[in-house]
């Protein structure tokens, strides 16, 4: 392990796509992941996502530098791919023939993608009517077996645990430790890009696997001195689904941000540890704040994310009202792409299409040029 870069160099492994990037998380980070000689080297080109600087919101928050980590650029469109590639590789290594997850959508899209690539069956349990269309389309396209239950995510996860306790099927939710290991690599990339950890990391919190993973990644960077500091972890839950904020499970969580519509997070305790050990905070933001950040990211930063991803940015704007961010470097994690949920976009950005004749004069008039 080099002191300055967490990126692994494995001369023993051939480049997957020479000169075209796409080495993937398992190769790049082999020496800090549970990779053995028996782990298959699979990738869809996950990881190595852009860290782009804010052009407008930065000034408003008063921080020195604001960056967005575009996890929406992962192959299935969310950060879940970083952990899923490790979880599925380990399932193949163990000889499992099938994977199962409970999902608000993105976990199932990612599991289905990697399972199809490895020739495994994928089973997904989803809360009926609460999964964004794009995510369902992905699971269907990859040939996953979809079980829709009349219940919420928390019921789905309970059932997934029960099934995998009785059958030789790998559970690939973030309760699978390999998921967390894979997801921590996003923290390594941020440290690599900034040459240190940021002062604050803002992200949405649902089942709380990701805040757990980032914290582990930053702690590891600090321990091996590739970072001089550790960030404050600022996690944000939707107001109608904020069990960690209120201190008790939410029986019927409600929010437009379906990816974080979770009332009893599996990694609750570890999220609290990340919060407290980092000196950070976990707060709630309303759906109105979330949708406001969703619109502003799209129209002022050029970033089209899904509503859950906007919760981290909504949270930063909320914090900026009371915390002095002068001199601070902040990273917001954009967890998933807006293409997942086109219905939400069309509802949010009111528009009407009135077809006109294909004539220059008419088009100019429509454009306000005539």
Ligand X SMILES: *Cc1c(COP(=O)(O)O)cnc(C)c1O
Cα-based distances in Å from 78 to 216, 246, 299, 335: 19, 27, 21, 6
106 touches ligand X (CB under 6 A): yes
CA-based nearest residue to 208, from 182, 173, 232: 173
Query: Dihedral (C-alpha) 237, 287, 78, 330: value to the nearest 10 degrees?
Result: -60
CB-nearer residue toward ligand X: 89 or 205: 205
Please tell me the count of residues contacting ligand X according to CB under 6 A: 18
Among 61, 174, 185, 255, binds ligand X (CB under 6 A): 174
206 touches ligand X (CB under 6 A): yes
Output the smallest distance, CB 31 to ligand X, in A. Answer: 24
182 touches ligand X (CB under 6 A): no
308 touches ligand X (CB under 6 A): yes
CA distance 260 to 242: 9
Among 260, 293, 316, 330, binds ligand X (CB under 6 A): 260
| Residue window 309-348: x/- pattern of binding to ligand X, with contact defined by CB under 6 A | x-------------------------xx------------
Range in contact with ligand X (rule: CB under 6 A) among 207-215, 239-247, 292-300, 320-328: 207-215
Under a CB-based contact definition with an 8 Å cutoff, are residues 285 and 315 in contact?
yes
Show Cβ contacts of residue 350 under 8 Å, excluding neighbours closer than 6 positions.
none
Range in contact with ligand X (rule: CB under 6 A) among 57-65, 118-126, 206-214, 219-227: 206-214
Range in contact with ligand X (rule: CB under 6 A) among 42-50, 56-64, 302-310, 351-359: 302-310
DSSP alpha helices (H): ranges in the chain? 24-28, 57-61, 80-94, 106-118, 133-141, 153-166, 177-183, 185-194, 209-223, 243-246, 268-278, 287-296, 307-320, 342-348, 360-366
Range in contact with ligand X (rule: CB under 6 A) among 3-11, 112-120, 184-192, 201-209: 201-209
């Amino acid at each position: 392990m080099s002191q300055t870069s967490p990126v692994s160099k494995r001369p023993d492994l051939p480049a997957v796509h020479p000169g075209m990037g796409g080495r993937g998380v398992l190769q790049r980070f082999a020496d800090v992941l549970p990779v053995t000689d028996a782990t298959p080297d699979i990738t869809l080109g996950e990881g190595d996502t852009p860290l782009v600087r804010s052009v407008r919101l930065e000034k408003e928050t008063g921080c020195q530098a604001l960056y967005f980590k575009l996890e929406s650029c992962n192959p299935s469109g969310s950060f879940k791919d970083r952990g899923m590639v490790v979880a599925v590789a380990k399932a193949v290594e163990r000889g499992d023939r099938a994977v199962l997850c409970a999902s608000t959508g993105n976990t199932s899209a990612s599991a289905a993608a990697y399972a199809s690539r490895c020739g495994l069956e994928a089973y997904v349990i989803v809360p009926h009517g609460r999964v964004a269309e794009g995510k369902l389309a992905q699971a269907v396209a990859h040939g996953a077996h979809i079980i829709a239950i009349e219940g919420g995510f928390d019921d789905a996860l309970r059932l997934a645990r029960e099934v995998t306790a009785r059958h030789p099927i790998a559970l690939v939710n973030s309760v699978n430790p390999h998921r967390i290991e894979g997801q921590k690599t996003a923290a390594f990339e941020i440290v690599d890009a900034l040459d240190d950890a940021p002062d604050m990391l803002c992200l949405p919190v649902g089942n709380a696997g990701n805040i757990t993973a980032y914290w582990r990644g930053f702690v590891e960077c600090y321990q091996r001195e590739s970072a001089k500091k550790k960030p404050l972890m600022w996690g944000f839950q939707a107001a109608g689904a904020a069990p960690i904020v209120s201190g008790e499970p939410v029986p019927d969580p409600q929010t437009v941000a379906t990816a974080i519509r979770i009332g009893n997070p599996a990694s609750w305790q570890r999220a609290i540890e990340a919060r407290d050990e980092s000196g950070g905070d976990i707060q709630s933001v309303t759906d109105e704040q979330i949708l406001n950040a969703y619109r502003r990211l799209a129209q002022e930063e050029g970033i089209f994310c899904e509503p859950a991803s906007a919760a981290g940015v909504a949270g930063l704007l909320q914090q900026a009202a009371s915390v002095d961010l002068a001199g601070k470097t902040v990273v917001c994690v954009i967890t998933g792409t807006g293409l997942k949920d086109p219905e939400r976009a069309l509802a949010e950005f009111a528009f009407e299409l009135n077809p006109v004749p294909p004539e220059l004069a008419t088009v100019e008039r429509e454009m306000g040029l005539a």
